[in-house]
Amino acid sequence: MEKDDLAGMMRALGHPVRLEILAILAKSANNCCCNDVTDCLSLAQSTVSQHLKVLLDAGVIEREAKGTRNNYRVRTDRLTAFNSAFSGYVHDLDAQTSSCDRTLEAAG
């Protein structure tokens, strides 16, 4: 996963309401439309729709048309991939930091 993708995903997830929306979707049997989500939040439908779009564009959720409704569901695969990517990123930072520490120790 590219650094820009990582940052983009972070930004999409970097809003409490959007994290809340993910929790709502997961709790709602993947059978959840925009109105359902809106009922769980004290926000206008258009605002919720906007947040859903951000999550959708980032690939965190997916949409399926079903009659007049749009069913949203969490893309767990993508979240897991993101988590792994970030985990690797942190690990790399840690490895570099530690080796620097060892260098300093050896030098000092």
CB contact set of 70 (below 8 Å; sequence gap of 6+): 33, 34, 63, 64
**Of 50, 76, 80, 99, the one binding DNA by CB under 7 A:** 50
**Of 1, 6, 13, 17, the one binding DNA by CB under 7 A:** 17
**Of 18, 33, 38, 48, the one binding its own copies by CB under 8 A:** 18
Part in contact with DNA (CB under 7 A); list of ranges 20-28, 38-46, 78-86, 95-103: 38-46
Query: Cβ–Cβ contacts within 10 Å for residue 85, how many?
Result: 16
**Of 1, 28, 59, 63, the one binding DNA by CB under 7 A:** 63
Binding partner selected for residue 64 from its own copies, DNA, none, CB under the kind-specific 5 to 8 Å limit? none
**Of 1, 6, 43, 54, the one binding its own copies by CB under 8 A:** 6
Q: Where are any strands of DSSP class E within the chain?
A: 61-66, 69-74
Query: Cβ–Cβ contacts within 10 Å for residue 4, how many?
Result: 8
CB 86 within 8 A of CB 6: yes
Decide if residue 44 touches its own copies (CB under 8 A): no
Please provide the distance, in angstroms rounded to a whole number, between the alpha carbons at the two ends of the chain: 37
Decide if residue 46 touches DNA (CB under 7 A): yes
